[in-house]
């Protein structure tokens, strides 16, 4: 899906795409925006989008802040960005800033037909080839760490049914949190009994009725204190009390959807992230329309073969906890 943030002046600029064969659906939002605020507070609602088209005159950010917000966006989301900057010259500082931020799809023509041709180039599989943007790394950057504004934040992970990867994802989330500097406890609230096997495989040290591996602790009882985050893996069980962050792991295969809908209905008025594993990109918009509500935000998980390496889903994990962190470079 294409998310288009537009000014009133250019609100119909992408309408011609609907006539194209195999056209992507377009979600159009028209108004005045601040990009940095949109990335932090609103983009999570559209994380399934594959293309983000920004009409520069729709944003009140200074050029420097606009480019910085794009760079931050590209560390958190996978969507490709196209920026409409009517009349922008390659020698202009904004053009250089966009290239440095990793954006090479820059629409600069001043005539409608020319702008549409450049938009088509930008949305092609190759993208616009006129510019040479700075390559952005898609993994966590070396030397990047976080300051956590968190103390005992409870994260509950609940599965719509067994054997759809909930524990693998929970362990990956814990490993990612530890890798970026958080102290975190994994609490086994199900009957899988995996912790003894993990402790042997990773030579963990016994501590406080559980096992420790660097900044991560694994046990079956929720600690009273001492951790930024407590991730409780309930499997198909349910927490007795409210939690700070609710994660619902939901299947999308034909024989899984009924279980998913039952879980979503049970928590229909609870704010939650709905995490769906193993979904083809062509089907993602269908499931967003089916599952997403004002309370439920849908994300699609990448394949994570190693339960102790959450990096394939780092951007999603960061989005889930972003209100509790600030980025620092070391």
> How do residues 177-211 score in pLDDT, each as one tens digit?
988 888 999 999 999 999 999 999 888 999 999 99
- State yes or no: pLDDT of 243 exceeds 60: yes
Q: Is residue 75 within 8 Å of 98, Cβ to Cβ?
A: no
Say whether pLDDT at 157 is over 70: yes
Question: Residue 44: its pLDDT value, please?
Answer: 67
Quick check: 107 and 54 in contact, CB under 8 A? no
Which contiguous run of DSSP H or E holds residue 68?
helix 63-76
C-beta separation of 58 from 31 below 8 A: yes
In this structure, of 75-79, 102-106, 182-186, 253-257, the range with the lowest mean pLDDT score is 75-79
pLDDT of residue 249 exceeding 70, the answer is yes
CA-CA distance, 51 to 73, in Å (whole number)? 12
144-329 has the same fold as 2-123: yes
pLDDT value of position 215 = 86
pLDDT at 107 over 90: yes
Quote the tokens at residue 151.
């103390």
- Indicate the average pLDDT of the chain: 90
Rounded to an integer, the average pLDDT of 96-109 is: 93
pTM over 0.75: no
> pLDDT at residue 136 above 70?
no
Rounded average pLDDT over 288-306:
94
What DSSP line would sit under 279-293, residue for residue? --HHHHHHHHHHH--
Helix, strand or coil, per DSSP, at residue 173: helix
3-state secondary structure of 66: helix
What's the pLDDT score for residue 140? 45
Of the candidates 54, 95, 92, 94, which has an alpha carbon nearest to the alpha carbon of residue 73?
Answer: 54
Instruction: Judge whether residue 78 has pLDDT over 50.
Output: yes
Q: To which CATH superfamily is domain 144-329 assigned?
A: P-loop containing nucleotide triphosphate hydrolases (3.40.50.300)
pLDDT digits over 35-72, tens only? 988 887 778 667 778 899 999 999 999 999 999 899 88
Q: Among residues of the chain, what percentage have pLDDT more than 90?
A: 69
- Tell me the pLDDT band of 147, cut-offs 50, 70 and 90: confident
Binned at pLDDT 50, 70 and 90, residue 276 comes out as very high
CATH code of the domain occupying 2-123: 3.40.50.2300
The domain segmentation of the chain, as residue ranges, is 2-123, 144-329
**Mean per-residue pLDDT, 208-230:** 92
264 pLDDT exceeds 90? yes
Separation CA 88–CA 69 (nearest Å): 19
pLDDT grade for 139, boundaries at 50, 70 and 90: very low
Q: Among 52-61, 70-79, 120-129, 139-148, which stretch is predicted with the lowest mean pLDDT?
A: 139-148
- Residues forming a β-bridge with 275: 249, 299
pLDDT in tens, 9-26: 999 999 999 888 777 889
> What number is the average pLDDT over the span 166-183?
93
């Amino acid at each position: 899906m294409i998310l288009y943030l537009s000014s009133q002046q250019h609100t119909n600029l992408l309408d011609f795409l609907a006539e194209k064969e195999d056209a992507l659906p377009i979600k159009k939002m028209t108004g005045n925006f601040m990009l940095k605020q949109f990335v932090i507070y609103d983009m999570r609602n559209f994380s399934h989008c594959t293309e983000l088209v920004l009409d520069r005159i729709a944003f009140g950010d200074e050029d420097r802040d606009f480019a910085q917000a794009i760079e931050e966006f590209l560390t958190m989301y996978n969507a490709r960005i196209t920026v409409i900057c009517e009349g922008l010259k390659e020698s202009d500082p904004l053009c250089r800033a966009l290239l440095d931020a990793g954006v090479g799809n820059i629409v600069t023509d001043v005539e409608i037909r020319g702008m549409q041709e450049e938009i088509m180039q930008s949305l092609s599989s190759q993208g616009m080839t006129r510019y040479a943007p700075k390559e952005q790394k898609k993994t966590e950057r070396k030397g990047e760490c976080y300051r956590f504004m968190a103390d005992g934040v409870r994260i509950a992970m609940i599965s719509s049914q067994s054997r759809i990867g909930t524990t693998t994802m929970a362990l990956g989330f814990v490993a990612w949190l530890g890798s970026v500097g958080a102290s975190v406890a994994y609490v086994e609230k199900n009957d899988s009994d995996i912790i003894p096997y993990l402790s042997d495989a990773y030579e963990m040290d016994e501590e406080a009725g559980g096992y420790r591996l660097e900044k991560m602790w694994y046990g079956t009882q929720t600690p009273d204190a001492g951790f930024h985050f407590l991730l409780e893996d309930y499997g198909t069980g349910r927490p007795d009390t409210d939690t700070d962050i609710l994660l619902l792991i939901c299947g999308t295969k034909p024989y899984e959807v009924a279980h998913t809908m039952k879980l979503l209905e049970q928590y229909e008025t609870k704010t939650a992230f709905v995490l769906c594993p193993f979904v083809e990109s062509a089907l993602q918009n269908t499931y967003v329309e089916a599952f997403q509500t004002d309370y439920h935000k849908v994300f699609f998980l990448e394949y994570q073969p190693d339960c102790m390496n959450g990096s394939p889903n780092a951007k999603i994990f960061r989005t889930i906890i972003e209100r509790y962190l600030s980025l620092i470079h070391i």
